[in-house]
Structure 1
Amino acid sequence: MKKPLVLLASASFALVLSGCGGTVSDGNQAANTGSPQTIEAAHTSSAKAADPSSSRSFFKDGVLTTSDLKIEITDHKIIPSGKKGNEYGSKPVIAFWYNITNLTDKDVDRDVSPMDFIFAITAYQDNNPNAENKLEVGGLPDDKFLDSQTENIKKGRTVTNAIAFELDDTKTPVDLVASNDLGMTEIGKITYKLK
């Protein structure tokens, strides 16, 4: 009786792991730009040298650079629930617009798409005294990227995209934490203070 359950659990775990490498697409994405509230542009940054393999990676002044890609945050706004760019969300979001550049050596070496932001940068709000509060990805805040957000970027080329994270409140600052190993080793952190 226990052996079939162990085999079933192992097979399920293998399926979950095999799904981790795919492209993420959200079918419930909002498809509009916002009339957002502004947030304080002042942010702080910190960078950590984690290990020799990430010594070429850094996250400072809104720019994440790794051996594979460069992400430059160009704008950020709070969009309240129900407003343009967040029509279908039940929470306000903090939206980021960014440029992403493919820095790989070959076009086929590693696929780089605008959606790589979610694999390289995680958003947090430190408003829970007992647990880490990772923010969920919200709907796409800018409909002009609806068809292009999953396209592969050619070697040495740059494209623009946007992403939103659902806020738990509109007062607690948002920390963007960058890594090049799915959040296991922090490259650096930038804090965005909300007004």
Structure 2
Amino acid sequence: MKAVTGLGWGALILTLALAPLLAVDLILIYLLEDTPFRILSTLAMLGCFYLLSTILSLFVDALTGALRSFVHSNIPRLIDTILHGTVSGISLYVVLTLFPSIDLSTLTVMAIVFVHLFGASFWLNRENSKEDVPLELDSIDQQIIHLLRTETIVSCVERIQHDYPNLPKRDILKRVKRISQSNKVTEPFHGR
């Protein structure tokens, strides 16, 4: 019984989260279409569109995340935004073929895809800004900061590698490089 209640709350939260987007899409359809539309079939079509778009977007996010970790470089967020726009367009096209009673004009389809593209861009920029916020430093990072105040980068890497033999050397190098390039650590003072 608790699982059903949890599912009910989850569905309610999801509905509240999607309500603004659903309202925008319904307003676009109302304003841009000349013919009256059936509200229930349009809601069903939009629900299927959101579901398919979400599933494909999760797949695209996983694919770009794997590509980022494989290439070890940062893929521009513009590519993510373009991929999400493409996913929205394909999802809407597929759903419209499944609902032949709903005939949307090209302008309406483009407006809906643009709204979803803008939403994806906003969401990705929000996620990107979260990544820019420095995370809480763990004990290894704090030790690196302390070591870089008195030692060179090479000796710092060697000490961390000695203290944490299970930590891969690549991770140690990334941490030391990231911390040494940040403004938090100043160069060690070497007196004359």
TM-score normalised to structure 1 length: 0.24
Greater Rg by CA: 2
More relative contact order in 1 or in 2 (CA 8 Å, sep 6+)? Answer: 1
Higher helix proportion (structure 1 or 2): 2
